[in-house]
Amino acid sequence: MPTSDSEQAKEKVNNQWNSLKDKLKPYSALQITFLGEFLQDLGKVEDFLTNIFAQNKIPCVLRIDLGLSREFLPEVQEVSALFARFSNLLGVTISNFSLNLYPSSDRTIYPDFYQVDWVSSLISTASKYGRFVFLSMSSVELVRLLSHPKAEELLKVLKNNLEYVIPGYSFDGYFSPIGLGSILGFYLGEYVNRIGVECGSHWYNQSYLVRPCIIGKVPPGSRSIYTPLYRVMILEGVLVGATVYLFPDEESLWVGKDTFQWNQAIEPTLTQVTNLGLIPSKEIIQKRVKIGYKCFPAGSAQEFWKLGETLFPQFGSGMMVKVIYGSKESHKLPDVVPEIGYNYILPLFPYSALAGENIDIEFVGYQPNFPEWNWSYVSEKAFRSVGEGSAFITSIGKYLFVFNSSEHQFQLQSYKIVLPSPVRRFTASRFEGNKIQLKWTFREGDVSYQVYRRYPPSENYELLSRGIENPQWEDTLSDISRSVGYSVTALTTETEVLEDVVGPGEYEVFSLVESRIAEEVVMLPEMNFAESVPIIKHPEEVDLACPDPVTSLGSTEEQEIAREIERLLSAMETAIVRKDVDAICALFSQDYKDSMSSGIGHIKYMLVSFFNLVPYPKFLYQIRNFNFEKSESGDTVVRTQIFMKVVGFRISDSLGIKSAIQMELGPSEDGEVTLSWCRQNSLWMIKSSDKSPFNLLELNP
């Protein structure tokens, strides 16, 4: 939001709001973010907003970034003045709220938790004006809120103002079900009456994802994201009962430069959610959820790390992920959709939560006074099979969800489910010129019918009528020169088994009470009669083969050498995970040098330093290409361009007052390096590189 030209800002805001489709306006508000220096003086903000909303009281939300310097944080009473002045200011979004502060291990440093006090005061103030506070937090920060002793006073404020606080999970580069389970715990634990999700793109590129099958460093400021992921983020929110959906990427909305994200994924999914009423009530969720994980109090950086080891595969064993969600990989990259949906989703509760009348859920989790439990027991208590196959399958209320769970590569996944049987073999007849009569066969299990219509070439159906009791329907056309298509569905107890596959980025939703659209009848202007035909699924053309630099090589000998180098890099990954410095160094020639003439000694020093700090390292790498050359002596040299990063988290900073510090070890910020391989004593070894492959970087000290 430009802060120097309010006229320009007014035009922009009005433009954005007026361009939004009328059907979504009743559910929407624009989020406005001010720069820190400008936000420091809310008198200027008030003047600015007065000018913007002089003619049109557009519903809006003010975003405040707590990552700013404390000096830029506005006084709560000044925010209160904005609430009093602007009735269209519906609430405040809080971003970058963190509890990553703990007393030092020797108790010589006691952090200032001013953010907790400020947010608590803001919530109390907002509730007096009937406005809300949306707390946008990552999965790790949500777990801190569930476990940090200092959060107890804030949790009490939430309970006392449960109508006006909305904990929101901001999709991040960790394991998404942990963040979604956290906001679900606040919801089911009666801490709040609404929860939400922030569906942004920032996590995608920050996690080295360029697009499926390609990892690397994208240019600064890039907001590229695989478009279908917007759809699945929204649907993941639906599965936990989220009623608030925040989209912070301005350029990916209806007037941004990346409007294809809005047109292809965001708007169609929001429309489906609202038209079908997909969001389940709390009562429906409570009937399904029988067990929940209760966080233990983590009053130190080390205690929080212990909690994180259990929950996050990036921190440690991630037993919850492995047992509950079927994870088979080490999860070097973020996961939005888990491998299986049988136990989806397990709520996480604050350590202070008490089971009782409002929380009819069995708590599990490490607690000194708890009886013995294990993850297998949790899985057995939560297990509920709703289908078969390799795809993610789960259900909530009257809808069943089938997702392709692979975000990082292209692959087909199978599913086998039982659904209401579709209405088939129906007919359309034209009479009186502009009228169409549809007829179909009644079945014993049918309760009522729905008729849908579309106008080709559009593939979108609109509901014409529901609750039809007789197996026929008449439609009057306003334009007889257009082709028109119809489909019929039924509320029915008749069932059939559906076996199919979901391709890359396919996230399907099926009703468990209304049959799906399986056939349609299309009437051309010159036709008087037509019969329905099956709708053939035409999946988006996607090359399911991820790039393989070996197959582009010219000779069989070169391909065999390239495969051997691939195996050696795989061995390097195994050695890094095991923190085996000698095994890593064994892949380098004894006379190895980088462009700065550093040798194996430098590599060993960097690896030892990193492994001393990071308990669970992960190795991200991807080969770009192989180039075969001849040295002056006639030996074969293979130059391999590769993206590589060793990533992980240190338990705490040197003072012990922050936990889970992100670390990297790599050739450079962009992670790109060229390794030169030569054969020595029948073994391929790294002889040189254009830069050191291992340099230490602390990302969030």
| CATH code of the domain in which 583 resides | 3.10.450.50
How do residues 470-521 score in pLDDT, each as one tens digit? 999 999 998 889 999 999 999 999 999 999 999 999 999 999 999 999 999 9
CB-based contacts of 249, cutoff 8 Å, min separation 6: 200, 201, 202, 223, 256, 258, 261
pLDDT for the residue 542? 62
Same domain, 434 and 465: yes
Residue 252 and residue 126 in one domain:
yes
Please state the domain count of the chain: 5
Sort 354 into a burial class: Cβ within 10 Å, 0-12 / 13-18 / 19+.
exposed
Distance CA 610, CA 694 (A): 10
Q: How far apart are CA 103 and CA 546, in angstroms?
A: 48
Residue 367: predicted pLDDT: 63
Residue 547 lies in a domain: no
Same-domain check for residues 157 and 177:
yes
Q: What does the pLDDT read at residue 372? A: 67
Instruction: Say yes or no: 95 and 204 in one domain.
Output: yes
- Distance CA(601)–CA(605), nearest Å, equals 6
The Cβ of residue 104 has, within 10 Å, a number of other Cβ atoms equal to 17
Tell whether 421 is covered by a domain: yes
Please tell me whether residues 471 and 618 are part of one structural domain: no
Task: Check the CA dihedral 359-360-365-369 and report its sign.
Answer: positive
100 plus 115 within the same structural domain = yes
Residues 193/630, Cβ–Cβ less than 8 Å: no
Q: Which of 267, 283, 299 is the last residue of a domain?
A: 283
Rounded to whole angstroms, the Cα distance separating 87 from 58 reads 10
Structure tokens at 497: 């088994």
The position carrying tokens 């257009």 is 482
Whole-structure pTM value:
0.94
Classify residue 484: in a domain, yes or no. Answer: yes
Residue 40 and residue 182 in one domain: no
CATH of the domain at 441: 2.60.40.10
CA-based radius of gyration for the chain = 29
- Residue 480 shares a structural domain with residue 429: yes
Domain shared by 168 and 214, yes or no: yes
Range of the domain at 295: 288-398
Does 543 fall in a domain?
Answer: no
Supply the DSSP string of 565-590, one letter for each residue: HHHHHHHHHHHHHHT-HHHHHTTEEE
Using a 10 angstrom Cβ sphere, with 0-12 exposed, 13-18 middle and 19 or more buried, the burial of residue 545 is exposed
Helix 42-52 with 76-85: angle, nearest 10 deg: 20
Which among 366, 379, 380 is positioned nearest to 327, based on CA atoms?
379
Answer whether residue 540 is part of any domain: no
Within 417-499, residue ranges assigned H as helices are none
Residue 408 in domain = no
Residue-level pLDDT at 14 = 86
CATH of residue 251's domain is 3.20.20.80
- The Cα–Cα gap between 221 and 226 comes to 16
- Strand intervals (E) in 172-272: 196-198, 209-211, 214-215, 244-246
- Using CA atoms, how far apart are residues 402 and 408, in angstroms rounded to an integer? 18
Which residues in the chain show pLDDT less than 50?
A: 1-4, 701
Taking residue 664's Cβ as centre, other Cβ atoms within 10 Å add up to 18
Q: Which two tokens stand for residue 619?
A: 């190795």
Q: What is the pLDDT of residues 574-585, one digit of tens each?
A: 999 999 999 999
Q: Which letter does DSSP use for residue 624 in this model?
A: E
CA atoms lying within 13 Å on the CB side of residue 277? 3
Task: Look at strands 362-364 and 244-246 and give their pairing.
Answer: unpaired
pLDDT of residue 402: 97
Q: Whose structure tokens read 């699945």?
A: 232
Distance in angstroms (rounded) separating the CA atoms of residues 409 and 368:
42
Q: Is 231 exposed, middle or buried (0-12, 13-18, 19+ CB in 10 A)?
A: buried
In a domain, 548, yes or no: no
Cα separation, 65 vs 34, whole angstroms? 9
Give the model's pLDDT for residue 374: 83
The predicted structure's pLDDT at residue 1: 41
What is the residue whose two structure tokens read 């991820």? 546
One domain, residues 208 and 122: yes
φ, ψ of residue 513 to 5 degrees: the values are: -125, -30
Whether residue 550 is contained in a domain is answered as no
One domain, residues 265 and 298:
no
CA distance 273 to 388: 25
Q: Please tell me whether residues 75 and 95 are part of one structural domain.
A: no
